[in-house]
Amino acid sequence: MRVSKAQAQANRALIVETASQLFRERGFDGVGVAELMAAAGFTHGGFYKHFASKADLMAESAACGIAQTLERSQELNAQRFFDLYLTRKHRDTRDHGCTLSALGGDAARQPEALKTIFADAIEALLTSLARNGEQEADEQQRARLIGQLSQAVGAIVLSRACPDDSPLADEILSACRAPQPDGTR
């Protein structure tokens, strides 16, 4: 039985969203195509009707997850964004959290096309955080935002690397939320 173009698009979107969550939870190499398709409610054979390769799905699903983070950042100034980012809730909801912290390490070992998606996402997030500030970002503010974003992403990665009940896991997040002596985070 043939499906309509609209249904095919809806099916593809479901596969991309499912992949985005599973990849953030387990990494690009932690999920196979058959398992991913089953989680989305489809057969393995249908995968290639939608995507040329797993790498294509990885790129599209990363862009999907990144778009979700960008959407959540639109109305937040940098301080509020980082306050929400550096929480145990974000740390513990890897499948719905930031793609940068969940898959940044994996992306470093992927083809240039995927790295470009991550680079564009970082740029877009920096632009969003600067725009939600009081003025256009100058070089100094941009450098500060890059440092804050790097610290926040790294804090989530390090906190996740610790056992869930480890006091260190929470201490990392708390330390990175606290203002630094120069007034930054």
DSSP class of 179: P
Average pLDDT taken over every residue of the chain: 91
By the 10 Å C-beta count (0-12 exposed, 13-18 middle, 19+ buried), 142 is classed as middle
Which pTM was predicted?
0.88
Each residue's pLDDT tens digit, 94-132: 999 999 999 999 999 999 999 999 999 999 999 988 876
User: Angle at Cα 101 formed by Cα 98 and Cα 102, nearest 5°?
Assistant: 80
Homologous superfamily in CATH for domain 5-177: Tetracycline Repressor, domain 2 (1.10.357.10)
**pLDDT-based confidence at 42, cuts 50/70/90?**
very high
Each residue's pLDDT tens digit, 124-168: 999 988 876 555 668 898 999 999 999 999 999 999 999 988 999
Residue 181's pLDDT is: 54
Percent of the chain with pLDDT over 70: 92
**Cβ neighbours of residue 82 closer than 8 Å, sequence gap 6 or more:** 148, 152, 177, 185
One-letter identity of residue 3: V
Rounded Cα distance, 174 and 88, in Å = 9
